[in-house]
Structure 1
Amino acid sequence: MSKEFGRAASGVVTKAELDQRIAARRKPRAELHLTPNGWEATEVKRQIDKDSERRIRHIDERLKAARENFQTGHARALQRGRAKQDFDRGR
């Protein structure tokens, strides 16, 4: 017997074996998240929290400024209205 015959005899390929091997392949599992692992995950979460806190402070400052502008504008409008009433009464 030659070496080629021995390889050919042990290496018989069939459609059934092909289908079996294809079915036995490990399939990659789809993950619903793209979160890195290890120290990178901690760093990413820290950065996200930091950005979120900075945005919260920004929004809070803007709302406080808007509230103060509203209150001062409202108070000035009341004073102008009273002044106009007083002026109209004096005529």
Structure 2
Amino acid sequence: MIKYREDSEIDYIRLIDMISQCGRDDMSTDYKELYKTVNNSMRVVTAWDFDYMIGFANIVKAPECDKEVKHILVDKEYSGLGIEEKLEDMLAIG
């Protein structure tokens, strides 16, 4: 059963893996940079399969243009299950 969390518990190793897996070049895979980005996020939501983080979403304020940027990542093995949509909905609610 997939559980969703709106707290700061992040598995950074899994997050780096998902960034690489999804081929995202708009997010750093450097731990310190990623930690800073997550902590400066306006909102963070994660999806978990028991204790395994399978999804991540956040909203950050882009300093260069002062607009909000969303990042939504879901492990490829869990795609097509509606997780991405649920994470996006949870970002919008907050």
TM-score band, normalised by shorter chain: under 0.3
| Higher Cα radius of gyration | 1
* Higher helix residue share: 1
Return the TM-score normalized by structure 2: 0.21
Q: Tell me: higher relative CO, structure 1 or 2? Use CA pairs within 8 A at least 6 residues apart.
A: 2
* Higher strand residue share: 2
Return the TM-score normalized by structure 1: 0.21
